[in-house]
Amino acid sequence: MQLDKIVNYHKALSDPTRLRILLLLCKGEEIHGQALAERLNLSQPTVTHHAAKLREAAMITERRDKNTIYFRMNPEFIRAGSEASLNFIFSKGTQEMEQESPDDNLKESVLRNFFAKDGRLRQIPAQYKKKLIALQFMAEKLAPGTVYSEKELNEFIRQYHEDYATIRREFIMHQFMYREHDKYELNPTEMWTRWENVR
């Protein structure tokens, strides 16, 4: 999973000792383990520990000469990780693909399986994605710009399901509708919950 790599990148950099090690290496010089331990006032095993983490994240490279292991910074990987992280958070690259079609097959199957032939909702789907599909399907039947009283809205929902209270709450919860002083109104569709970017 992509996410874990990003997490590991930031874990590697979220410790003051490791940052200080990188700082010591940032001039490009090589420094060996014992020298690091002494400079940082740490034991050798602790240096080994941090070196392993930095190596796993490809932030340093190592060279052996006799008994001594010299560390050197790997700046390209540090920069690359930073960029990958930003791209991930801002969803560069994957955004376009997932923007469209929230799984049309799923939508079809939910409409087929959860709604009876007479249009009523058999049961409220428990699974998150499916529930949203059912909610959206019903919300689309409401008139944009119209202000509904609670009573009117209950009546509307009752066309589909007896448990209007739950569904009314879900409409609010997932931002299909907005409530003010017991008056209900459809939100603009841009605000309707999106599930494409959940992953």
Partner DNA sequence: GATATAATTAGATGTATATCTAACTATTAA
Partner DNA sequence: TTAATAGTTAGATATACATCTAATTATATC
Task: Summarize as ranges the residues that interact with a second copy (CB under 8 A).
Answer: 3-4, 6-7, 10-11, 13-16, 19-20, 22-24, 26-27, 29, 31-32, 34-35, 38-39, 41, 75, 78-79, 82, 85-86, 88-91, 128, 173-175, 190-191, 193-195, 197-199
By beta-carbon proximity to a second copy, the closer residue of 27 and 151 is 27
Q: Which is nearer to DNA, 110 or 157 (CB)?
A: 157
Can you tell me whether residue 139 is helix, strand or coil? helix
Count each helix (H run) and each strand (E run) in the chain, helices first: 10, 6
- For a second copy, which is the closer residue by CB, 155 or 182? 182
Binding mask 63-102 for DNA (x = CB under 7 A): -x-xxxx---------------------------------
Q: Pick one of 3, 41, 89, 117: the residue that binds DNA (CB under 7 A).
A: 41
Cβ neighbourhood burial of 85 (10 Å; 0-12, 13-18, 19+): middle
Residues 17-36 that bind DNA (CB under 7 A): 17, 32-34
Q: Which is nearer to a second copy, 78 or 153 (CB)?
A: 78
**Taking Cα atoms as reference points, which of 76, 74, 55 lies closest to residue 12?**
55
Contacts of 11-17 with CB under 8 Å at 24 or more apart are 11/53, 12/53, 12/54, 12/56, 12/57, 12/59, 15/50, 15/53, 17/42, 17/46, 17/50
